[in-house]
Structure 1
Amino acid sequence: MLWFKNAIVYQLNKDNLFDTQAITNAVNACPFVPCGNTDSMRSGWVSPFGESQDNPLVLDNNGQMLLRLKKEIKILPSSVIKQALAEKVTQQEQLFNRKLKKAEKLSLKDEVYIDLLPRAFSKYQFFWLWIDTVNKRVIVDSSSFKQAEDILALLRKEMGTLALTPYASDTPLEKTLTKWVKESLSFPPIILGDEIELKDAVEDSIVVKCKNQEINSQEIFVHIDSGKQISKLKLLDERGMSFILNRDYTLKRIKFDNAILDKNEDFLPEESNAKLEADFMLMISQLTDTFKSMQKIIEEIITV
């Protein structure tokens, strides 16, 4: 399903420009190829429209580009490797009539792993990537910075360079969110949700998590007054979505309202490609509005 569940936002450095043709060429140069007999993992681009060879690998609508990455991981349980290794060690020790050295066992472990790979099961993961050439940013649908960096590395490999930095501001977001809640500031259409996480400003391991909680309540103010700062906060965009904003500026658990999800339900089954493109434009319109509002709110809170 297209609709992003997470958003890690990267901003392109000002001295660089997006080239849609260069991005398309880079994607076309790295299509997904299944793992070979000796591969433990492979990743590559597949079409957003489906994995048919007739579908393009890039959806480009006036500089708004949608990519989809497929990742194959070979699954080899450690218990299977351990059992196969034990059998091979026993065979070798009987053959040589002596105990094997540690280095020899490590070498056998590599051999066992390579022998088992062709018979291993495959696990597949898919990741969406939205490239906004208008606002010079990249948004990855991933909950992990490491995973996002691995995805971007595939683009950098072919493009040579892609100078991106995760979105951030000079003021730590914990202070901004804490001020927002503590001073009961109001910024419609973005409103406070009912979920919050606070961490001690000195001891990061001291964490308070609250769900189904009135955010502007005395209970939350007590934690703030004791030195804790907000590290996660659920927010609602009354235009059609909710999300958890983390102190590293990532958005997680994004949920779009049914009123948004159902807008393009009139498409016929044979119009699936057109529906995907319409859904994409609808989604990025919503996310763009939310990003713009959040950026303005953060700037306003910092200057208050």
Structure 2
Amino acid sequence: MYFKNAQIYRTSTEWPITLDSLREQLAKRPARHCGSQDGESRGWASPAGGELVHAVGGQWLICLQTETKILPSSVVKRMANERADEIAQRQGYKLGRKQMKELCEQITMELLPTALAKVSRTYAWMDPVNGWLAVDASSKSRAEDVIEMLRYTLETFPLALVRTNRSPMSAMADWMSAGEAPEGFTIDDACTVRSITEDRKEVSYRRGIDEKQIMEHLEHGCLPIKLALTFDDRISFVLTEKLEIKRLSFLDVVTEQIGKPEDAAALFDAEFALMTGELTRMLSAVVDALGGDLHKEEDLISQAKVVT
């Protein structure tokens, strides 16, 4: 159980929620199959085959399961055109735009009951001790699906995006200009820079950074939007201008600590405990390297959403 990405958020360490309460609230909106006329269904599923919240060492893991009917628009359009031709022959004139839209909607409703369904799962780690929430998603929009469902499910939910005193883009530009990462980090061999001009041209280096070329890009108004880093010789990742953590990789010095667990369940727990411990340290170090966290506890509490 290792995350590949981390869309990170801040929760309040004073959030009055217990493990039992979280499980009870998630159980009110469990994962289910799509109904005959449903295009999509979302709900909470067990992340490890047991409880809806998997807990190890005070760290919690949850899972949003989404079932989506697969109904290609090309199929709907083809059937709508065929049916529209038949109708036009009978009535002597073609269907208008509004009628075609209604016909597509009708055909969609007819096909939904027999359409195949695709199931996807998105995991989120909740750290009630240190106030972190991280979603294993490669994009903010995918992570926001989880956040939106949590807001819909929970009675209170004090949460905010991580905000730092320095922007990641500005900090990364300084690190690259100096050729030196902040304490505890090393710069790896991949980055992407983007022009600040209207064309917003991007240049990526994936197998080695040419320092001379990078300096030229920075001098001509380009700014880094992605930078590969390693923390404490234990975790490699890519930091983005949106403060996303991508391409997470826990190095051998970390994974070898697990040893040989007795079974799959023990392995799952060992990996989760190891991952959360390492991520807690790394995320705190990233925020510190960016000048510290702007959020205050009272701000998070005031943003708690109360569901009525």
- TM-score by structure 1 length? 0.88
Amino acid at match of 2:228: K
8 Å Cα contact 2:138/2:246 also seen in 1 = yes
Structure 2 residues not aligned, in runs of 5+: 293-308
Alignment partner, residue 6 of structure 2: 7
Whose relative contact order is higher, 1 or 2, with alpha carbons under 8 Å and at least 6 apart? 2
8 Å Cα contact 1:13/1:165 also seen in 2 = no
Alignment partner, residue 132 of structure 1: 127
8 Å Cα contact 2:23/2:51 also seen in 1 = no
**Is the counterpart of residue 253 in structure 1 residue 252 in structure 2?**
no
Going from structure 1 to structure 2, the CA distance change for 1:222 and 1:39 (only over 3 Å counts) comes to: same
Q: Which secondary structure does the structure 2 equivalent of 1:196 belong to?
A: strand
**Is the counterpart of residue 100 in structure 1 residue 95 in structure 2?**
yes
Instruction: Output the CA distance in 1 between the equivalents of 2:105 and 2:73.
Output: 13
**Is the counterpart of residue 295 in structure 1 residue 295 in structure 2?**
no
Amino acid at match of 1:235: L
Aligned residues, how many? 292
8 Å Cα contact 2:13/2:128 also seen in 1 = no
Q: 2:265 aligns with which of 266, 273, 283?
A: 273
Alignment partner, residue 40 of structure 1: 39
Q: 1:172 aligns with which of 167, 171, 175?
A: 167
Instruction: Output the CA distance in 2 between the equivalents of 1:265 and 1:77.
Output: 46
Structure 1 residues not aligned, in runs of 5+: none
Q: Which secondary structure does the structure 2 equivalent of 1:111 belong to?
A: helix
Alignment partner, residue 25 of structure 1: 24
Amino acid at match of 1:279: E
8 Å Cα contact 2:166/2:290 also seen in 1 = no
User: Within 5 Å, which residues of 2 pair with 1:209-220?
Assistant: 209-214=204-209, 217-220=211-214
Going from structure 1 to structure 2, the CA distance change for 1:204 and 1:242 (only over 3 Å counts) comes to: farther
Q: 2:53 aligns with which of 53, 58, 66?
A: 58
Amino acid at match of 1:8: Q
User: Displacement, 1:80?
Assistant: 1.0
Going from structure 1 to structure 2, the CA distance change for 1:186 and 1:158 (only over 3 Å counts) comes to: closer
RMSD between superposed Cα atoms in Å: 2.2
Alignment partner, residue 275 of structure 2: 283
Determine what percentage of the aligned residue pairs are the same residue: 27
Amino acid at match of 1:146: S
Instruction: Output the CA distance in 2 between the equivalents of 1:245 and 1:101.
Output: 50
Instruction: Output the CA distance in 1 between the equivalents of 2:249 and 2:31.
Output: 29
User: Displacement, 1:295?
Assistant: 2.2
- TM-score by structure 2 length? 0.87
Alignment partner, residue 221 of structure 2: 227
Alignment partner, residue 148 of structure 1: 143
Q: Which secondary structure does the structure 1 equivalent of 2:290 belong to?
A: helix
User: Displacement, 1:157?
Assistant: 1.1
Alignment partner, residue 183 of structure 1: 178
Amino acid at match of 1:121: L
Instruction: Output the CA distance in 1 between the equivalents of 2:161 and 2:261.
Output: 36
Q: 2:107 aligns with which of 101, 112, 119?
A: 112
